[in-house]
Amino acid sequence: MTQALNQTLLARATAKLGPQVSLAIGLLVLAVLLAMPLLHLLPADHAMHVSAYSLTLVGKILCYAIVALALDLVWGYAGLLSLGHGLFFALGGYAMGMYLMRQSAGDGLPAFMSFLAWNELPWYWYGTSSFLWAMCLVVLAPGLLALVFGFFAFRSRIKGVYFSIMTQALTFAGMLLFFRNETGFGGNNGFTGFTRILGFDITAAHTRAALFFATVVLLVASLYLGFKLARSKFGRVLTALRDAENRLMFCGYDPRGYKLFIWVVSAVLCGLAGALYVPQVGIINPSEMSPTNSIEAAVWVALGGRGTLIGPLLGAGLVNGMKSWFTVAFPEYWLFALGALFIVVTLFLPKGVIGLLKKEKDQ
Amino acid sequence: MRTVPIPAAMLDTAAGISGLALDTGKTVGKGVNVRHGTILTLEDINVSFDGFKALTDLTLYIGVGELRCIIGPNGAGKTTMMDVITGKTRPDNGVAYFGEQFDLTRMSEVQIAQAGIGRKFQKPTVFEALSVFENLELAQKTNKSVWASLRATLTGEQKDRIDEVLSTIRLDSARHRPAGLLSHGQKQFLEIGMLLMQEPHLLLLDEPVAGMTDAETEFTAELFKSLARKHSLMVVEHDMGFVGSIADHVTVLHQGSVLAEGSLEEVQNDERVIEVYLGR
């Protein structure tokens, strides 16, 4: 919620004032985000104490913001609307979850395997007790899947709505696969009941603060990466690809490599976000792969303003801020509100909130 | 051929691309072998779409440094021919060679573009969200791999080249405007400019003066004439005035094959041509 408010304030101010001021506001928001984990470490009765609930909520929204940014890189810049980014997010989350389950289980098997009367770990669980290997999996699982899927999709020149439908089908297939107990990822319950990470108590204030801090660092790093890519010739080629792919090919560029590169980068970013999401939220299950989650991510980007770097962050902050307020105040109406929001944005804000703010600035 | 005064800016451009200067009997620029003085060879090309024959035994040769105009009624197969040359459409059979060694029927669009064939579309196609300068930057002949683009920075030489082309196509003052905001004629020029940046050996131009004012058309004619000899050009155009002002050699297409070939005067007096096209 704080995040959402901060971002709204940031954007409003940006609209009225020059780039230096908006940079100052950006730094202020960053300072607030960096202060939050420190304030969480204060004693609970202190006036400035940030509760574990708020910290987790904002941390979660920051993870979503990274997903929104990653989706915007492929959709806003390269024109590839993915409706399956939830899959990459969940794969990163599951890779982290495997490590966390191994930490909780100690030398034994994770609890859900005992329930299934399994006596040994499936082969793909080998090495997951090592944090380093788990981190490799966080990158490799979404990265390789994106590489293989992208390779074939782009080679066959699948574009537009067909591409979106295929990504949607992919995440749906992933969800069905992970729902099965035999897949070895805890079936529909997924992973939960984490106790320790790197030997630290996962619910301890220090651990929460560190995880939150790591999320802020990842968000800033993703923004920096996005900024660098968007400013490079590579970024301009992506924009050209989005607007006139044929022209680009007749200029001598092979679009496949460009699409594949940004597609894999985007998937890996989602995986990393998922890996930070799971220890903060404390659960990962196949519903993270449900098609609606991926569609919601597209709503964040559309609402914030695609093709910009700040837009998707704003969108993720606003929608999730509203969501956490709505689901407390009027839980039944959240989906209606989300739908209405999407319609309003599509009809009246084709360039998202950022577009609206920029327009005000121009006038 | 008539001599026409050419603005100094254009002569500069011509000098700038003299890397492609041809010596018939040797290779042009890098890699294209034109030993027999022919840059493009099309022999017995057939293309059919669901039974409709778009090209029938089309045979056509373009010489090095030639400026060839292609005319013909709608549906004569002009655009299909360009699609075959640029790899967009695969012929059912026939021979298509660029220079002596590039078999166009086996190359992808990207490979063909990199080998040195540039194409201007019928509808002007530019990167609308990017500025005029950036459009030219992307078209510039350079390493176009992903890794190269990630690290690319413009050298002074490359910037100079872009500036040169900007003044050639008279878009100097619009360099920072998004290409989407240009007028139709300006977009046509920008696309021609992008072709120049690519430094191709063969330029295919599909209706380059459509939607241009008379002054712009005249300027384009001068520009093309200054490009010929250093490049080979194939121009598809309906504007007979324009064709007359640039072409030394005209090919008439009809129903997917060559009906007549010669100077504009010759083909205009050809009985069959008058019957199918000019007489209507």
The interface predicted TM-score (ipTM) is 0.84
H-run or E-run covering A26: helix A19-40
Asked if B194 and A251 come within 8 Å (Cβ–Cβ), the reply is yes
Q: Answer yes or no: is B150 within a domain.
A: yes
Average pLDDT per consecutive 10 residues, chain B (280 residues; last block may be shorter): 42 37 40 77 91 90 91 86 92 91 91 93 90 95 92 92 92 93 91 93 90 88 88 88 87 89 87 72
Nearest CA to CA, how far is A319 from chain B (Å)?
Answer: 28
pLDDT of residue B33: 72
Q: Answer yes or no: is B3 within a domain.
A: no
pLDDT of residue A107: 85
Asked if B138 and A232 come within 8 Å (Cβ–Cβ), the reply is no
Asked if A258 and B130 come within 8 Å (Cβ–Cβ), the reply is no
Which residues, in sequence order, are CB contacts of A140 under 8 Å at separation 6+?
none
Structural domain harbouring B190: 8-278
pLDDT of residue B23: 35
Report the C-alpha gap between B249 and B237 in whole angstroms.
13
Residue B131 at interface with chain A, using a CB cutoff of 8 Å? no
Q: Answer yes or no: is B47 within a domain.
A: yes
Which stretches of A86-198 are assigned E, i.e. beta strand? 191-192, 196-197
H-run or E-run covering B32: strand B32-33
pLDDT of residue B277: 67
Nearest CA to CA, how far is A237 from chain B (Å)?
Answer: 7
Q: Answer yes or no: is B2 within a domain.
A: no
Number of domains making up chain B: 1
* Residues linked to residue B70 through DSSP beta bridges, in sequence order: B236, B251
Residue A125 at interface with chain B, using a CB cutoff of 8 Å? no
**Cβ neighbours of A257 in B, within 8 Å:** 145-146
Report the C-alpha gap between B15 and A310 in whole angstroms.
46
Q: Answer yes or no: is B221 within a domain.
A: yes
pLDDT of residue B190: 94
Nearest-CA neighbor of A74 among A312, A285, A233, A253?
A: A312
Q: Answer yes or no: is B1 within a domain.
A: no
Task: Give yes or no for a contact between A175 and A183, defined as CB atoms under 8 angstroms apart.
Answer: no
Query: Tokens 């090309």 sit at which residue?
Result: B45
Residue A249 at interface with chain B, using a CB cutoff of 8 Å? yes
Asked if A244 and B194 come within 8 Å (Cβ–Cβ), the reply is no
Q: Which CATH number belongs to the domain containing residue B26 in this structure? A: 3.40.50.300
pLDDT of residue B10: 41
pLDDT of residue A2: 47
pLDDT of residue B20: 38
Mutual orientation of helices A160-179 and A131-155 as an angle, nearest 10°?
Answer: 140
Asked if B86 and A234 come within 8 Å (Cβ–Cβ), the reply is no
Report the C-alpha gap between A96 and A136 in whole angstroms.
10
Asked if A236 and B134 come within 8 Å (Cβ–Cβ), the reply is yes
Average pLDDT per consecutive 10 residues, chain A (363 residues; last block may be shorter): 48 56 86 93 88 94 97 95 96 96 89 88 92 96 97 94 96 96 91 92 93 96 96 95 93 95 97 97 95 93 91 93 89 87 86 79 57
Q: Answer yes or no: is B196 within a domain.
A: yes
Task: Give yes or no for a contact between A153 and A147, defined as CB atoms under 8 angstroms apart.
Answer: no
pTM of the model: 0.87
Tokens of A331: 């839980």
pLDDT of residue B28: 42
